[in-house]
Chains A and B, each alone.
Chain A
Amino acid sequence: MYWENELETLERKNLEKLQVTRLKKTIQLAVNSPYYRNLYGQMCLSADSIRSIADLRKLPLTTKQNLRDNFPYGFLGLPQKELIRLHSSSGTTGNPTVIFHNRHDIDSWANLMARSLFCAGVRDTDVFQNICGYGLFTGGLGFQYGIERLGCLSIPAGAGNSPRQIKLMQDYGTTVAHAIPSYLNRLFEVFQEEGLDPRKDTKLNTFVIGAEPHTEEQRQRIEEMFGVKAYNSFGLSEMNGPGVAFECTYQNGLHIWEDAFLIEIINPDTLEPVAEGEVGELVMTTLDREAMPLIRYRTRDLTRILPGKCACGRTHMRLDRITGRSDDMFIVKGCNIFPMQVEGVLMKIPEVGADYLITLDTINGSDEMIIEVEVKKDWFNGDITRLDKLARLISGQIRDEVLVKPIVKLVEPGSLPKSEGKAVRVKELRKALNL
């Protein structure tokens, strides 16, 4: 009933022992990288400084900014010859976040992914449709390798094109699908437009939903619409991608794979650990990654550890749903977006002012990013086609940057909040999501 009987049900005491052993090994690997060698060298820290999990707190936190500042190879603990893949964030302004993997890392990730899916009840007899972008985004290949490792028939459908998704489901009798929750509303609409009922006209029994925070209510709605069980998947590209934490069939929190990740929950302001069971920022250390180990990485995701044992018998701790972020990142259509990326694009367009407002809303069942931009007074000449062209240019350039096509609305100068101080740049109107 487990993918890995021993590892998944390891007694806490033994699990922690394993963590300490792996943590020491991780630090030995990490000091091969220029960044950690330098940092730990200055602080006279080494693998020998770690004797227990509590010792972890002697080590400094790692941030996304550290990754960007040391782009591309500063965190690499292995020669390039050993690497077999990279995954990277989108964007053309500033340095992307890139994670490198060697063969061991890809293998270990595929195994975690297979373990996650097995834990949600997926078996090798299933037909698994991965409705997710392939490429640099980790949700495509990350799932693909896990599905194959588990032994399902995989359908690497990619994202979008709902009529084709439905056809694939019907042609091959898809039983399990993975998608971002906000897309499933749209997919259901297309089922209805085609006069189909997914409960009767497909063999779907399981959905894996992730990459976007969602509420319990939204999960239940998806389960009712499609007549399936929907399981929450959590991951982030810095920790490989999907396969970090996953719900089991009891659907009461996400088991985080503690043999591969060491987790802490800290207060994002004081950086001290929060009291047991309190909400704070998730901090993670890789325990089984060779090419690019990360130590005490600040995920910026807010969550808490759920108390008690899970009835499934797994001993790995459970995370609550992600309730928000300790930075200003937001997620649209599964893409992680920082307001700074939008601002970066706008600042390069001379016709528009520096002020902008991003509104996230659900329009016709689909999540949309609406960007209001001020047109500079002295550029305006009364020509309507010129304004239309500008709106299209802005929309195209933002799409290239964040991979989501926004709706651009030009507004009168002076009508948006000024950029001084802490102006609200993002307005959340999507009902189903709590960001």
Chain B
Amino acid sequence: MAYQVSIFLENKIGHLERVTAVLKAARINIRTMNLNHTASGWGILNLVVSNPMLAHHLLNENGLSSALREIVAIEMMDHPGGLDDLLQEIVKAGVNFTNAYGRSAYASENAYFVIDTEDVHDARQKLLQAGLKILSDETIYGIS
């Protein structure tokens, strides 16, 4: 089971840096990120990192509001149409997601696509049945 670290952030100068400083000090690597913002002056930062449990713990200890959310990372081809091909399969599998973001690896044909869904177990089942490749935690976190 893979996790993203979600952090509640006010849209103010220096707030994102508070997060990255904590991770840097603990030598935690950020693999991919996604930042969304609402009109009301706050947003949520989602991070896939090398050690989500430790990151979550340290961020909370440093006064930030973080939460661990389970995600599914699906293998995707790093070439034109890669996302479209993948999405067609996800649609066929009947999986809806509320948030998504990706990562492409340097000098590789592979990339991955991270989705945040309401029922992650159900989503994983459906995606596996559709023959999609769900990446291992080690691959996602980059610690293989």
Chain A residues in contact with chain B, CB under 8 A?
A: 375, 377, 380-385, 387-388, 391, 407-415
Contact = CB atoms under 8 A, between A and B. Distances in A.
A135 to B, nearest CB: 31
A412 B64 CA distance: 7
Given A383-B69, A410-B8, A415-B10, 14 more contacts: A380-B66, A382-B6, A382-B44, A382-B46, A382-B66, A387-B38, A387-B44, A409-B40, A409-B41, A409-B42, A412-B8, A412-B10, A413-B65, A414-B63
A146 B38 CA distance: 48
A388 B37 CA distance: 11
27 contacts: A375-B8, A380-B6, A380-B8, A380-B66, A380-B67, A381-B6, A381-B67, A381-B69, A382-B7, A382-B44, A382-B46, A382-B67, A382-B69, A383-B69, A383-B98, A384-B38, A384-B99, A387-B8, A387-B38, A387-B44, A391-B40, A408-B40, A410-B40, A411-B10, A412-B15, A412-B64, A415-B10
Interface string B7-45: 111100001000000000000000000001010111110
Interface in B63-122: 63-69, 98-99
B98 A377 contact: no
B125 interface: no
Contacts of A410: 8, 40, 42
Contact of B65 (A380, A385, A388, A407): A380
B60 interface: yes
Nearest to B9: A412
Contacts of A381: 6, 67, 69
B110 to A, nearest CB: 26
Contact size class for B? 20 to 34
Contacts of A408: 40
Contacts of A375: 8, 65
Nearest to B7: A382
Nearest to B5: A382
Contacts of A413: 63, 65
Contacts of A388: 38
Contacts, number: 58
Q: Which 8 A-B pairs have the closest CB atoms?
A: A382-B6, A382-B67, A382-B69, A380-B65, A381-B67, A377-B65, A409-B41, A384-B44
Contacts of B67: 380-382
A206 to B, nearest CB: 40
Contacts of B60: 377
A408 to B, nearest CB: 7
Contacts of B66: 380, 382
> Which of B4, B65, B66, B67 has the most chain A CB atoms closer than 10 A to its own CB?
B65
A377 B65 CA distance: 5
A129 to B, nearest CB: 35
A375 B9 CA distance: 11
A140 to B, nearest CB: 33
Contacts of B38: 384, 387-388
A97 B100 CA distance: 52
A371 to B, nearest CB: 11
Contacts of B10: 411-412, 415
B6 to A, nearest CB: 3
Contacts of B68: 382
A17 B63 CA distance: 68
A410 to B, nearest CB: 5
A382 B8 CA distance: 7
B39 to A, nearest CB: 10
A117 to B, nearest CB: 43
A408 B40 CA distance: 8
B86 to A, nearest CB: 23
A333 B130 CA distance: 58
A301 B36 CA distance: 46
A166 to B, nearest CB: 29
A411 B15 CA distance: 12
Nearest to A415: B10
B93 to A, nearest CB: 22
A384 B36 contact: yes
A388 B42 CA distance: 10
A161 B91 CA distance: 46
A41 to B, nearest CB: 56
Contacts of A383: 6, 69, 98
A413 B10 CA distance: 10
A161 B43 CA distance: 33
Given A382-B6, A384-B99, A412 B44 contact: no
A412 B41 contact: no
Nearest to A391: B40
Given A380-B8, A382-B44, A382-B46, A412 B65 contact: yes
Nearest to B18: A412
B72 to A, nearest CB: 15
B18 to A, nearest CB: 9
> Which of A410, A412, A413 has the most chain B CB atoms closer than 10 A to its own CB?
A412
A304 to B, nearest CB: 41
Contacts of B46: 382
Contact of A411 (B42, B44, B64): B42
Contacts of A407: 40
